[in-house]
Structure 1
Amino acid sequence: MGECRPLGFLIGLPFAVLALLLSLVGVVIWIIGSTISCICPCCVCFAGLANLAMDLIKLPVKVIQWFIGQIPC
């Protein structure tokens, strides 16, 4: 990714901000899910919920990378 594509970054920025808000929700879900799965290991569904929350946390970076990749050279 040695090329600079500022247009893709600027277009994707509002969507990345929305994804950032979703990632904050993901942080809360991850903390709750991790705590519950540590307290009661029989609750496997909470571990899956924590993994889903990690995907939400990574979402802003994925959104920006997707928008930058859509802009041709």
Structure 2
Amino acid sequence: MGDCRPLGFLIGLPFAFVSLILSLVGAVVWTIGSVLTCLCPCCICCAGIANLAVSLVKLPIKIIQWFIDLIPC
């Protein structure tokens, strides 16, 4: 079965739910940052905000993988 760690998945679900909400906020911020970067390409801070938002969008997957890796089989 290799990498079977269902307990880590179940323990990580509440934290993944919270990070899912954060990722939705990140998606909104990314959209706004992308529009601002297209309108005014000289604003380098908008690109940084968009990159931060992309990392927020990826957060639920990272948290679930982190919890699964912490729990031994």
Normalising TM by the smaller chain, what interval? over 0.9
Indicate whether 1:67 and 2:67 are aligned: yes
CA RMSD of aligned residues (A): 0.7
Alpha-carbon distance between aligned partners in 1 of 2:23 and 2:44, rounded to the nearest angstrom: 22
Equivalenced residue count is 72
Identity of aligned residues (%): 69
SS at match of 2:42: coil
Unaligned 5+ residue runs, structure 2?
Answer: none
Show structure 1 runs of 4+ deviating over 6 A.
none
Indicate whether 1:18 and 2:18 are aligned: yes
The within-5 A match list for 1:33-44 is 33-44=33-44
* Counterpart in the other structure of 2:49: 49
Unaligned 5+ residue runs, structure 1?
Answer: none
Alpha-carbon distance between aligned partners in 2 of 1:21 and 1:39, rounded to the nearest angstrom: 28
1:39 maps to amino acid: L
Alpha-carbon distance between aligned partners in 2 of 1:44 and 1:35, rounded to the nearest angstrom: 13
2:30 maps to amino acid: W
2:8 maps to amino acid: G
